[in-house]
Amino acid sequence: MNEFLSLYSESAKTALGFFWKSGWAFILGYFVSGMIQAFVPKGSLTKYMGEADFKSISLSTFFGAASSSCSFAALAAARALIKKGAHFIAAVAFMFASTNMVIELGILIMIFLGWQFLAAELLGGLILIAISSVLIKLTYPKKWMQAAREKVEDEGEEMNDDFDWKQRIKSKEGWQLVGHKFVNDWKMAWEDILIGFSIAGFVAVLVPGEFWAALFLVDATHLPDWLIALENALIAPFVAASTFIGSMGNIPLATVLQGNGVLFAGIMGFIYSDLMVPPLVSINAKYYGWRVALYIAGIMYISIVLTALILNSVFGWLDIIPETQRVVSEITQFKIDYTFWMNVIFVFIAGWLSWQNKQYLKDHTMKMMQMEGSGPIKRGVVYTLIGINLIGILLFLFF
């Protein structure tokens, strides 16, 4: 019993340690994201996304990188783009960019995994988009896609986003809008973040390293390196899908995998697979029908595996694959260091942005749209995990 309580409390402490280590990074990331959303006019871009050419894909990539990293928001925005006439290839490029190339995700990767993974994330995001674009061009099912487009013609929100950014950035209302975007991003993402960080904390403590070693062939020294890398890249998306974790919540678990010796290819494949979790595939099915949803998932899977293998080869050739394994217990330490002071500073920034949101809502009577995927089951899981974590922290503090 004492051993169980010790493991339980250590798991909760580790989960809280993940939050502690990355709190300031989330605030900074969503602050920058809010500024980009508020001050970068995107409405005029959609008319250039109707073709499957380099310009359309490039604009979609830029648009995605300038958007929120919430996976559910990415799917909703992609549907709106298709409704406005964007090509499906452009929509897929947007989805990949908005969940893999945003600043808050980059900061989180830098903190937990290091600069090599950040460089791979950015380079791999472009490779991922390029491969998926080519695959869709080669296999494009016109009848399916036309039926899917007709399905969303009367759905989704109109995107009216033309303004003078120079005038907006100088105005009080512009910064109130930044606060509003910041708060809305948090409202959309906090459940996925909490689920992901909680699962990572308990997995880090409770799941033995032997499990990961067997699953990812860590100790299979008799096999050639290329075969182990292939196996890691092939299985990582299924591991990611089994966690049901969205884009921001899977970085701590990727740190756990890296700490247990999983290859670079496996970790990158895991990070890129956030759009393949079952709830997101189900939402795409709701938007476009199951044929197109499974087709998109298949394109993503092949693209993720190929990208992970390419990155593993390129970084191996450059000899910059991280050799040292990050120890989770060291990352999640509570001490007076730069993390403490950064968290203090950014708590005040978050308070100021929340006040700006409050001022914005005084002049704008609107309701936050219910985000797909945030139903009663998910809320029940979230509140259950909050209770589990609170009890675990109390046990750690007092017993």
Residue 164 gets which letter from DSSP? -
Phi-psi region of 373 (alpha: psi -120 to 50; beta: other; left: phi over 0): left
Place of tokens 């920034």: 349
The count of structural domains within the chain is 1
Q: Quick check: helix, strand or coil at residue 322?
A: coil
**What letters, b where the CB count within 10 A reaches 16 and e where it falls short, cover 23-49?**
bbbbbbbbbbbbbbbbbeebeebbebb
Residue 276 CB neighbour total at 10 angstroms: 18
d(CA 379, CA 171): 37
Q: What is the pLDDT along the chain (399 residues), one digit of tens a residue?
A: 788 888 899 889 888 888 888 888 778 878 877 887 788 766 666 667 778 888 888 888 888 887 765 676 677 778 777 877 788 888 889 888 888 887 778 888 888 888 899 999 999 999 999 999 999 999 988 888 888 888 876 554 454 566 777 889 989 999 999 999 899 878 877 887 788 788 888 888 888 889 998 999 988 888 999 999 999 999 999 998 887 666 666 788 888 888 888 999 999 999 998 888 887 788 788 888 899 999 999 999 999 999 999 999 999 999 888 765 666 666 666 777 778 999 999 999 999 999 999 999 988 765 555 555 567 877 888 899 999 999 999 988 887
Q: Count CA atoms closer than 13 A to 243's CA, side-chain side.
A: 31
Tell me if 145 sits within 8 A of 86, measured CB to CB: no
d(CA 102, CA 94): 11
Tell me if 101 sits within 8 A of 19, measured CB to CB: no
CB within 8 Å of 272: residues ≥ 6 apart: 100, 124, 128, 237, 304, 307, 308
Give residue 241's domain range: 2-398
Tally the residues of the chain: 399
Residue 325 gets which letter from DSSP? P
Whole-model pTM? 0.78
Residue 365 gets which letter from DSSP? -
